[in-house]
Structure 1
């Protein structure tokens, strides 16, 4: 079986690796550098807490695969299961945490609730005015700069053809399958997997499957290096743009959230420096000790957000041999290995090993 994968971010490279591992002949096409789009702009959060319940089976499978990445890929992508701590600062957040914990438990996610005294004993200096917190010990983070190239290189080792810097591919349907015409040549395959991220909706619409998708960019930043003291990923239960951060092993604090997402023009997200003070005020509520630390860089990236908050994942309803995996709404990083594994099985067998019908593109058919 020959498969073209369009898009070289985490979803595309993980799908390429999983398909190649199943013996498919894979051609991965990326218009720019591998992993240099929304993947590299991401926070690197590997969390299940707060995720849509419909995604928890996929997230659970993905977490298992994250734990196997170093063995499977032959390199360390800095996956660390350091835990995910979400602080609560008001009664509304506490209500949301309790409701989510109860709903998520049947899906295999057990959140530990912490009192203020327990927070300060286990995580001193974090959320001093928090009234509660949830802790998910198996979650954590990985390095977004490493994972795309790692999956692509592992796929190439298994025989996949990696075509990067190919420009915008023109896709046509043929009697034999699909043809992708690029700046680096034309490629043919039986099947096509649309992992084009924020540009995935344009390809879907070409085949008669419009998706209500908008593009936005998260506002991210990083501080100067500090002594490494904070292990878990830290966030908050808040309905309006809650902030989050993590400390990498080199000591820098990576942070995001706290402000509305940036608009995107011509496929590029720009940083709005006027939003930084607002973002930092929320960050300091999580960790007041960061008050006098220097921010050394900010960045953003173009991500696709589907109107109902769920990604598009599964087989096309109009075109045999076409499959979709795009629009992960700014929280797809954790799902990446699981998406690749699931899509590879779906493409090669016609059946998904996990319940993904709720994410089908068919939900927009009306």
Structure 2
């Protein structure tokens, strides 16, 4: 089976790898450089807490693959299962956490509830005003700059052709397959996987599938290096977007942070977003609620990227509703990093066998046309 994968982010490169591992002949086409879009803008959070319940089977599948990534890909992509803590500062957040924990338990996610004393003893310096927290010990983080290149290189070793800096000019369904013409040539295949991120809606539209996707850029920042003391990824349960911050400390000591700021609009041509410096003061106030010590630390860099957000915040994944041989995996709405390996594995299974052991029905592109 021949497959063309459009998009060289984490979803596309993981799909290319798992397709090649299943014996498919794969050509991946990326308009820029591998991992240069939403993946490199990612915070690097590998968390299951707070996900839409129907995403949890895919998240569990992906977590197993993250734990195998170093052996599987032959390099350290800095996956660390250091846990994920979400702090709670008010009764509304506590009620939301408890309701989610109860609902997620049948889906295989167990959250530990921590009291203020347990937070202080186990995670000193975090959320001194927190009234509670949830903790998921098996989650953690990974390096967004390493994972997509690692999948691409491993796919290449399995025979996949990886084509970068290739602008797609035309996509045609030939009846027996697909012909993709780009700046580096024409490529034919039996199947086409649309893993083009924020550009995925444009490709779907070529086949009569309209989806409500908005391109946005997150507001991210990183501090100077500090002594390495914060092990888990830190987030918050809150109904107030102004406090929706998150952070993690990498092993080199820098603290990466984001959230608590409006995502900037992105023009898909050229598809780049710049961080808005006006957002930084309010963002840092929210981050300081989680980690007061950050108020005394120098910020050395801010950045943004280009992510595709669906209006219902669920990805588009699975078969096309209009075109045989066309598959979609895009629109992960800023929370696709953890899912990436699982998405690639699931899409490879679906494309090569016609079925998928992980339920994907909630993510089908046909949901946007129901009742039309």
Displacement, 1:168?
Answer: 3.0
Q: Give the equivalent residue in structure 1 for 2:126.
A: 126
Q: Give the equivalent residue in structure 2 for 1:232.
A: 232
Distance (Å, rounded) in 2 between the aligned partners of 1:272 and 1:70 = 35
Post-superposition CA distance 1:301-350 (Å, at most 9, x none): 11111111100000001000000000000000000000000000100111
Q: Give the equivalent residue in structure 1 for 2:280.
A: 276
Aligned residue runs from structure 1 range 51-70, under 5 A: 51-70=51-70
Displacement, 1:169?
Answer: 4.2
Distance (Å, rounded) in 2 between the aligned partners of 1:127 and 1:240 = 16
Distance (Å, rounded) in 2 between the aligned partners of 1:86 and 1:54 = 21
Q: Give the equivalent residue in structure 1 for 2:141.
A: 141
Post-superposition CA distance 1:283-313 (Å, at most 9, x none): 1010111111000000001111111110000
Q: Does 1:323 align with 2:327?
A: yes
Q: Give the equivalent residue in structure 2 for 1:357.
A: 361
Distance (Å, rounded) in 2 between the aligned partners of 1:298 and 1:167 = 28
What is the TM-score with the length of structure 2 in the denominator?
A: 0.97
Moved over 6 A (4+): none
Displacement, 1:270?
Answer: 1.9
Determine helix, strand or coil for the equivalent of 1:67.
helix
Closer, same or farther: CA 228–56 of 1 in aligned 2, 3 Å: same
Distance (Å, rounded) in 1 between the aligned partners of 2:246 and 2:193 = 32
- Selected match of 1:255 from 244, 254, 257: 257
Q: Give the equivalent residue in structure 2 for 1:305.
A: 309
Whether the 8 Å contact between 2:225 and 2:252 is mirrored in structure 1 is yes
Distance (Å, rounded) in 1 between the aligned partners of 2:169 and 2:343 = 23
Post-superposition CA distance 1:2-46 (Å, at most 9, x none): 000000000000000000000000000001100111100100000
Distance (Å, rounded) in 1 between the aligned partners of 2:168 and 2:321 = 24
Distance (Å, rounded) in 1 between the aligned partners of 2:295 and 2:362 = 43
Post-superposition CA distance 1:118-177 (Å, at most 9, x none): 000000110000000000000000000000100000000001000111123421111330
Q: Give the equivalent residue in structure 1 for 2:266.
A: 264
Distance (Å, rounded) in 1 between the aligned partners of 2:78 and 2:171 = 35
Q: Give the equivalent residue in structure 2 for 1:110.
A: 110
Q: Give the equivalent residue in structure 2 for 1:288.
A: 292
Determine helix, strand or coil for the equivalent of 1:216.
strand
Whether the 8 Å contact between 2:220 and 2:303 is mirrored in structure 1 is yes
Whether the 8 Å contact between 1:31 and 1:169 is mirrored in structure 2 is no
Q: Give the equivalent residue in structure 1 for 2:182.
A: 182
Displacement, 1:95?
Answer: 0.9
Determine helix, strand or coil for the equivalent of 1:234.
strand
Determine helix, strand or coil for the equivalent of 1:79.
coil
Q: Give the equivalent residue in structure 2 for 1:171.
A: 171
Worse overlay, 351-360 or 261-270: 261-270
Post-superposition CA distance 1:172-218 (Å, at most 9, x none): 11133001111111111000000000000011011011001111111
Q: Give the equivalent residue in structure 2 for 1:344.
A: 348
What is the TM-score with the length of structure 1 in the denominator?
A: 0.99
Q: Does 1:201 align with 2:219?
A: no
Determine helix, strand or coil for the equivalent of 1:198.
helix
Whether the 8 Å contact between 2:168 and 2:180 is mirrored in structure 1 is no
Post-superposition CA distance 1:54-82 (Å, at most 9, x none): 10000000000000000110000000000
Distance (Å, rounded) in 1 between the aligned partners of 2:69 and 2:190 = 29
Distance (Å, rounded) in 2 between the aligned partners of 1:63 and 1:320 = 31
Question: RMSD between aligned alpha carbons?
Answer: 0.8
Distance (Å, rounded) in 2 between the aligned partners of 1:18 and 1:169 = 27
Distance (Å, rounded) in 1 between the aligned partners of 2:66 and 2:209 = 32
Aligned residue runs from structure 1 range 11-50, under 5 A: 11-50=11-50
